[in-house]
Structure 1
Amino acid sequence: MVERAPYRKRDEVREDILRATEDLLATRAPSEVTLRQIARHGGFQHSLITRHFGSKDELVAEVLQRTMQQYADAVRDTDDPVDGFMRGLEHVASHPASFQTMARALMDGSHPASSEGPFNAFSVHRGRLERTTIGGDLGNIDLDVLTVALMALTTGWAFTEDRWLRTAGYTDNDRARVRNQLSELIRRLVDDPHR
């Protein structure tokens, strides 16, 4: 007689599927990952994925939504735009696999970015910039461009920080000082984007 696996709650199964998907998408583009690979990685039947998510596209979309919601939550609780961008950097740096997943999905082209849905953190950052004193005095600089540029700077920095610190001869002991300088650079860009 074959023993059945113990019953697990729906939320537990969904969480296991999401984690297995995040793990694989951190190293491969969504187009390179199959439902069977996700199931094998997570140690469950691939039919569970379709039962809980419908399709791979719906599963990947939920992983992206979750990743960006966590980012948006991390940057939301401040009125200072610079603090918001630096919180975003710290969040990405402390969750590299999640953001590798997001980057691969964007580069793959199967899940384009927009300010709604999974990429709503853009709206959080943009709204905060708009409420600052420079909000109405950008001259020929588009607020959307400034927002995207600062998001690219901070998320890109988080992905490559270790490499650039080593390249410049810094150690982990210098990280806080270097991030403070980056924060000051962002503050100058926010305070006077015409520099």
Structure 2
Amino acid sequence: MAPVSALAKYKLVFLGDQSVGKTSIITRFMYDKFDNTYQATIGIDFLSKTMYLEDRTVRLQLWDTAGQERFRSLIPSYIRDSSVAVIVYDVASMFLPHGHILQTSIARTCRQTFLNTSKWIEEVRTERGGDVIIVLVGNKTDLVDKRHCFGKLLQHCQVWRIFPQQNRKIWLM
């Protein structure tokens, strides 16, 4: 009788500012649905999914963190034993026509979610050093006309632009 191999488990912690779409990404991946009426995550939510791959079976533990500042002190404890840190930012109002001035608070907020990814990366590196995979995800790309990559931050990350509302590219993550 062949020995039964242990189920490989991977902890993925989803990080990013409030309202960038972390919950939408996870919900699309887990249940193949999108809901426009999400409430802000309070503290943290945990979901688990078993994936049956061609050559093995793995269990993914998905940790959906709250993006609000008041929950920030909880985040390091969830990062500590993670295999993957998925850092999400909102691209919806970042990519405006050349020369356009960011005049609305929404546009400034979306741009700020990208700028804040460096803080999230730093927090992951503080807790895990180089012993973690960091994935930078630009979300809500279905809401933009122009796309542009910000090269400086992307040097150390694999990037996918995803569309949880339309179920495009979630499985590639």
Q: Pick 1 or 2: higher relative contact order, CA cutoff 8 A, min separation 6.
A: 2
Richer in helix (by share): 1
Richer in strand (by share): 2
Same fold (TM over 0.5): no
TM-score by length of 1: 0.27
